[in-house]
Amino acid sequence: MPKSEQYLKEAFAGESQANRKYLAFAAAADKESYRQVAKLFRAAAEAETIHAHNHLRVLKGVKSTRENLQEAINGETDEFNRMYPGMITTAKAEGNKEAERSFNYANEVEKGHAKLYQKLLDTLGTSKESYPYYVCPICGNTVENEPPGVCPICGTAGKMFKKIE
Ligand code: FE2
Ligand code: FE2
Ligand code: FE2
């Protein structure tokens, strides 16, 4: 692979991580009442997203929605078939309960993501249905239409779920 392409991939990963890290730092700054610091973290996070998207565009990483759905399904499937099971086994062996739980949450949720993507891919361009999704703030469990009474993955109350429309 040409060096520039390798660098674009590395830079995309780094900028993506910086975006999420700065948003977490902003929330922490808000909690500590450092409002101006929180604003700067949010502004920089926004800029890192632009950098990440610029790199991704140069990599031609965004294709048609049909292709993007398939890529998302492939990625999610690899996570719950290969990546997380291996990580869970290692976390267990090392006695790292927090890591094990964090991996378990993601592993369970990715199965749902693959199904939700597959459902839309199967009817792409033929269905006019419109409905919201709800996301669990603790484990990321993602469901259609209505939140459950209690999250089946982590036990959080459904009323805490974030609505996405
Ligand atoms: Fe950046
Ligand atoms: Fe996912
Ligand atoms: Fe949950």
Neighbours of 86 (CB within 10 A): 11
Q: Domain segments of the chain: what residues?
A: 3-58, 64-127, 130-165
Q: Which ligand is closest to the CA of 141, given by its number?
A: 3
- Gap from CA of 62 to ligand 1 centroid (Å): 19
Q: Which ligand is closest to the CA of 80, given by its number?
A: 2
Q: Which ligand is closest to the CA of 43, given by its number?
A: 1
For residue 67, give the 3-state DSSP assignment: helix
The length of the chain is 165
CA–CA distance, 45 with 107 (Å, rounded to integer): 26
How confident is the model at residue 1, as a pLDDT?
86
Question: Quick check: 84 and 106 in contact, CB under 8 A?
Answer: yes
- Gap from CA of 76 to ligand 2 centroid (Å): 5
How confident is the model at residue 159, as a pLDDT?
98
In sequence order, the 6+-apart residues with CB closer than 8 A to the CB of 81 are: none
- Gap from CA of 35 to ligand 1 centroid (Å): 22
Q: Which ligand is closest to the CA of 13, given by its number?
A: 1
CA–CA distance, 165 with 106 (Å, rounded to integer): 22
Closest-CA residue to 144 (of 133, 135, 129, 128): 133
Question: Quick check: 108 and 153 in contact, CB under 8 A?
Answer: yes
Token representation of residue 75: 């990625």
Q: Which CATH number fits domain 3-58: 1.20.1260.10, 1.10.580.10, 3.90.1530.10, 3.40.50.720?
A: 1.20.1260.10
Could you report the per-residue pLDDT of 110-139, keeping only the tens digit for each?
Answer: 999 999 999 999 999 998 999 999 999 999
- Gap from CA of 26 to ligand 3 centroid (Å): 23
- Gap from CA of 130 to ligand 1 centroid (Å): 36
| Arch. (CATH architecture) of 130-165 | Single Sheet (2.20)
Where are the strands (E) in 46-126, listed by range? none
| Local confidence band at 61 (pLDDT 50, 70, 90 cut-offs) | very high
